[in-house]
């Protein structure tokens, strides 16, 4: 699909924001993509193509932009949606996973009943960078007895090698920046 004109459209719709959130970083902003209904619909269609092949039972969306793609994708696939959030954002009993960042650590949580043992789960987020958050989400799914069937992203920052954290897990991004 690398020469697919649909992917070129998605790539062209993303906006680079230099020096955000700190100097030297070029942030890949998905807001223009979300603001254009035709491009957003195209992204969902392409994600759905990838997801259908995995035959999943549940989508796990990662806070917060993963919710934007995970919810409509779950609806299209007729599967449940579970959320991974920052600490103290979920109202019921949770499990948590702490993971390393470039400078420090972060933590995410999921409800204890978010994934049933044996469910095939697809993790969805907008962007794969270093892979820390998505790997932590995969660990939560596994701890609850789920099988991580794959991970889907709209954008991958290939130069950060986040893909390396997912040995053996099917991982797909619509657009990759090397």
The pLDDT of residue 3: 81
Pairing of strands 26-29, 15-18: antiparallel
- Which residues are annotated as catalytic? 65, 102
Task: Encode pLDDT of 145-154 as tens digits.
Answer: 999 999 999 9
Q: What is the pLDDT of residue 102?
A: 72
pLDDT band (50, 70, 90) for residue 104: confident
Q: Where are the domains of the chain?
A: 55-177
- Those residues whose C-beta lies under 8 Å from the C-beta of residue 7, and which sit 6 or more positions away, are 1, 46, 174, 175
The per-residue pLDDT for range 48-93, each reduced to its tens digit, is 999 999 999 999 999 999 999 999 999 999 999 999 999 999 999 9
Q: Give the tens place of pLDDT for each residue, 8-51.
A: 999 999 999 999 999 999 999 999 999 999 999 999 999 999 99
Average pLDDT over residues 81-109: 94
Give me the CATH topology for the region 55-177: Rossmann fold (3.40.50)
What pLDDT was estimated at residue 103? Answer: 77
Closest CA to 43 of 74, 77, 9, 83: 9
> Model confidence over 113-132: pLDDT tens digits?
999 999 999 999 999 999 99
Tell me if residue 157 falls in helix, strand or coil: strand
pLDDT, position 2: 62
At residue 101, does pLDDT exceed 90?
no
Show Cβ contacts of residue 22 under 8 Å, excluding neighbours closer than 6 positions.
none
């Amino acid at each position: 699909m690398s020469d697919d004109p649909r992917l070129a459209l998605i790539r062209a719709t993303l906006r680079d924001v230099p020096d955000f959130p700190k100097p030297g970083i070029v942030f890949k902003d998905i807001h223009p993509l979300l603001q254009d209904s035709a491009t957003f619909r195209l992204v969902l269609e392409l994600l759905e193509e990838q997801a259908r092949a995995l035959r999943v039972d549940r989508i796990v969306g990662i806070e917060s932009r993963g919710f934007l793609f995970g919810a409509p994708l779950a609806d299209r696939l007729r599967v449940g949606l579970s959320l991974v959030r920052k600490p103290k954002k979920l109202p019921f009993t949770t499990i948590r996973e702490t993971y390393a960042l470039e400078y420090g650590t972060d933590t995410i949580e999921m409800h204890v009943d978010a994934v049933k043992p044996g469910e095939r789960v697809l993790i969805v987020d907008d962007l794969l960078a270093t892979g820390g958050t998505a790997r932590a989400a995969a660990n939560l799914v596994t701890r609850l007895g789920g099988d991580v069937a794959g991970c889907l992203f709209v954008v991958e920052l290939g130069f950060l090698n986040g893909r390396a954290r997912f040995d053996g897990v099917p991982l797909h991004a619509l657009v990759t920046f090397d």
